[in-house]
């Protein structure tokens, strides 16, 4: 079984924000594979199904970003899922909008959701798919930091690229499940954001 975790924040006010890119990708996977992602379990919305003839559990933690790891760890332990069958989808300010980066292991990059996952799983050796959301303009970043920026919705002008990237991220996860992390990294890490 594969565990695919989308990081985000609950509440309709966050639905189309940069910080909820992970949830957008899980919603697309659920749509493509007719997975009902509404069951409440492990402090998350969950959905069981099949992708590439493999059993999958999709989860959207409902604990807010900083405690996302609780849901991931609970699902992993309950279903006895190996670390190499876990993929976490998250937003990334350090990547331009539209860029994807899949990696196994590594740092949390200052992302509190990834930090929570690593702490709760007691390991950093899981796959993470970073969804580029760009960073705020320098002046805004210096005055207000990044918290306000990631909780703002994508602009109307950005939305076509967001939708395209959500689709590419879902394709990447399907490749990860079907062919493994190395194949997915080779195919999607070098792709441009257009």
Cα-based distances in Å from 50 to 76, 161, 163:
17, 27, 23
Indicate the helix (H) or strand (E) that contains 98.
none
- What are the backbone dihedrals phi and psi of residue 18, each rounded to the nearest 5 degrees, phi first? -60, -40
Domain ranges of the chain: 2-188
Tell me the C-alpha distance between 60 and 173, whole Å.
15
Of 7-21, 64-78, 87-101, 135-149, the poorest mean pLDDT is in 135-149
CATH 3.20.20.120 is right for the domain spanning 2-188: no
The arithmetic mean of pLDDT across residues 16-30, rounded, is 94
Tell me the C-alpha distance between 49 and 107, whole Å.
30
Q: What is the pTM of this model?
A: 0.91
Catalytic residue among 19, 33, 79, 80: 19
For residue 80, indicate whether it is catalytic: no
Chain centroid to CA 144: 25
In tens, the pLDDT along 155-190 reads 899 999 999 999 999 999 999 999 999 999 999 997
């Amino acid at each position: 079984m594969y565990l695919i975790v989308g990081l985000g924040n609950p509440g309709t006010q966050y639905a189309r924000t940069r910080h909820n890119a992970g949830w957008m990708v899980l919603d697309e996977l659920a749509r493509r594979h007719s997975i009902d992602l509404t069951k409440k379990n492990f402090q998350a919305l969950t959905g069981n199904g099949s992708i590439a003839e493999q059993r999958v559990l999709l989860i959207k933690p409902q604990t807010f970003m900083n405690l996302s790891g609780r849901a991931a760890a609970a699902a992993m332990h309950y279903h006895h899922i190996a670390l190499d069958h876990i993929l976490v989808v998250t937003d990334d300010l350090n990547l331009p909008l539209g860029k994807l980066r899949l990696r196994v292991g590594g740092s949390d990059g200052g992302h509190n959701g990834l930090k929570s996952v690593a702490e709760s799983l007691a390991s950093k050796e899981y796959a993470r798919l970073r969804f580029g959301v760009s960073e705020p303009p320098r002046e805004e970043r210096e005055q207000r930091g990044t918290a306000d920026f990631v909780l703002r919705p994508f602009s109307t002008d950005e939305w076509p690229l967001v939708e395209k990237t959500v689709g590419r991220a879902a394709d990447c996860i399907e490749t990860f499940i079907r062919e493994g992390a190395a194949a997915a990294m080779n195919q999607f890490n070098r792709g441009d954001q257009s």
